[in-house]
Amino acid sequence: MPLLTHRGGRDETVTLRIGPPQGGEGTGDGSAGPRGAGAGRRRVRAALWTLLGLVVLGPLLAFAIGWLLIPVPSPDDATLLQTATFTFADGSPLAVVQPDAVNRIKVTLDEVPVPVQNAVLAAEDRTFRSNPGFDIVAIGRAVVSQLTGGDGGGSTITQQYVKNATGQDQATLWRKYKEAVIAAKISKRETKDQILEDYLNTIYFGRGAYGIETAAKAYFGKDVGDLTVSEGAMLAGLIQSPAGGDPAVDLVQAKARWNYVLDGMVETGWLTPADRAAQVFPDDWLRTAPPEHGIPGDERFHIYTEAKAELAAAGITQDQIDTLGLTVTTTVDPETQEQAVAAVAAVMDDQPADLRTALVAVDPRSGAIVAYDGGPQGLGTDYAQALRQPGSAFKPFVLSAALQAGDGVGLGSVYDGSSPQTIAGQVVANSAGDSCDRCTVMTAMTHSINTIFYRIAVETGVDEVVRAAHQAGIPDDLLPVADGGIALGDQEVRPVDMASAYATFAAGGVRHAPHIVEKVVAADGRVLLDHSAPEAGAQAVPEQVARNVTESMLDVADSSRIALSDDRPVAVKTGTVQLGSTNDNKDTWTVGYTPSLSTAVWVGTDESDPVRTASGSPAYGRTLAGGVWQEFMSDALRGTPVTRFGPFVPIGTPPPTAPPPTTTAPDAPALPTDERNGQADPRSGRHHHPVGGASDSGGARLDR
């Protein structure tokens, strides 16, 4: 048989003979003989087997090495940072906190409707339930695509989850290799349901939304559990191209992807043709997404910061806030909060711009803070937490101490209320000369007679007054150094402290710790803190003492012209702190309660400047602060049952039915508190009020 060969650049003809060699042909080195040909074939076969081994065994060996050396990321790595949501008591949003702008809320697979799960599978991985975590054919296509200049592709849901968990999305063969190894390991370790749950919590849907729950809120304003089949299909269609698939960006593309998903659900048997035909593209998608994050810059910011401080005190760290997908439910009632803000605006809007306000309302039955207004500028000072002198609003604690001392003091006990007097070496005057030669303790409370309460404090013991204030709820770290001036409110307290301490009297002496956080729940359902079931509280003040303190303040509202409608019983005390020895005032208060609501209102300035009304006259406790308090309490209690305090059993001498009148005497000089104890006001460089100036100033018979 002739065979054409190429040798030395020319063609030659070689004749092949079939059969045994003749005449010794081919007996040289044997290379052209049968044994030489067999050796050549063996070398070819060896080369082919080597090549086949490299092609087949190489990837297997590489896969085995990768299996041993490449770690599997924790399921939490992909969802480490999550959105924390702070809400009002009714669940309405207060603040949405996103660490590093990651908008994610984890949910369990049980919370995702099965049709929504299937829509995602139809969109991204129809063989998810049966594949080993990777698709070798798809990976092969991706390899060819990348070698020819394409952009890869071919990822299963498990591989996509791995990409999210590792944060690596480079279009490289090395990344595909790692993805396949990790996907296989995860598929071996985790159930398909767990993998799908992790995927649904990590995948990006556009509009800043990571995870199916946040996507449901971003596109439909609802929880994932409320999604329909059609809505789920629209969201599933977004995964391939979150920006381009947004119906607000490209409605045609969004509908095309929606159809693709639904058709895939029919193809896989997850949706019947009849149900497919009944589907209509959603028309309730939001044209613009709700705010992805935000902490309001108004008074709500102070609620948020106070709630965070409470979380820290409970041992809940910032890391937990950032990573656990917390829902923090506050105790603040949104309607009551609106009423607080409206009351401040109604009274203060036309007043001088330098005036500042704070309002805190507490439920005496639980300690829950139901309204919290620390000022309109959220990023500014929280005045509900600012230390200020309470003036005469501190007198109920003096009475509580005296009633507990067992020395026979009662609301009907009669004292010398003249002004001025020298008591324990100190000249004490009543405000504006208000005085009564002989009047009862109850009258002294109603008309804020300084000389009587100063004497009671000295006789009872200043330390006992401090103890009584701490009993009621003034924090133990306050009132560190006190003298007789404590009777007139020369020690600094916070509005939130006063609302809480008065709430103890409202609750019959039962003290409930004030709190602004009702419940904290992590995304996985764990409850980290729960105040939703009111605690029993502690009997901090004897019940009879608390009821007598309440009785002593029942006439103040009428006397100060801040009574509530419906003949609603209310115990209230105003307070005004005089500015040095001037005729101006620097802090004004009204604090009072019903059995169901205790509210403190403060009005002052940043630097303890004169507090004046729009007319230029000095403000008093009953005027601006009292006006805000009355406006708020009236609105907050409107439509609620008129509740009365418990039976009054007097301690010591009971009060008479008609209090004696007070008289007006000339003002008397009094030494400034600071000159007496050598301390200057650290806030303003000014001296504190004179003894007697811490009380209310104005016309007779009015506790302003």
Residues classed as catalytic: 124, 392
Residue 372: closest CA among 342, 336, 328: 336
**The residue type at 534:** P
Q: How far apart are CA 378 and CA 114, in angstroms?
A: 43
Neighbours of 141 (CB within 10 A): 15
**DSSP 8-class letter at 612:** B
Phi, psi of 510 (to 5 degrees): -85, 120
Interatomic CA distance for residues 262 and 115, integer angstroms: 10
Query: Is the CB of residue 158 less than 8 Å from the CB of residue 187?
Result: yes
Token pair for 299: 């008074």
Give the up-direction half-sphere exposure of residue 327: CA atoms within 13 A in the CB hemisphere: 17
The one-letter code for the residue type at 193 is D
Phi–psi pair at 125, nearest 5 degrees: -165, 90
Query: How would you label 169-191 residue by residue, b for 16+ Cβ within 10 Å and e otherwise?
Result: eeeeeebbbbbbbbbbbbbeebe
Question: What value, to the nearest 5°, has the Cα angle with vertex 113 and ends 325 and 240?
Answer: 75
Place of tokens 């929280």: 382
Residue 600 CA to residue 629 CA, distance in Å, equals 7
Neighbours of 31 (CB within 10 A): 11
CB-based contact 262:192 (threshold 8 Å): no
Residue type, 506: A
* Cβ 247 vs Cβ 234: under 8 Å: yes
CA distance 584 to 576: 10
d(C-alpha 553, C-alpha 693), whole Å: 21
Angle at 605 between CA 600 and CA 606, to 5 degrees: 110
- Do residues 573 and 396 touch, judged by C-beta distance below 8 A? yes
Where are the strands (E) in 451-547, listed by range?
Answer: 510-511, 517-521, 527-530, 538-539
Structure-token match 């009551």, residue found: 336
SS3 330: strand
Query: In 3D, which of 80, 175, 179, 161 has the Cα closest to residue 124?
Result: 161
Burial class (CB in 10 A: 0-12, 13-18, 19+), 73: middle
3-class secondary structure, 49 = helix
369 touches 360 (CB < 8 A): yes
Task: Count CB neighbours of 252 within 10 A.
Answer: 8
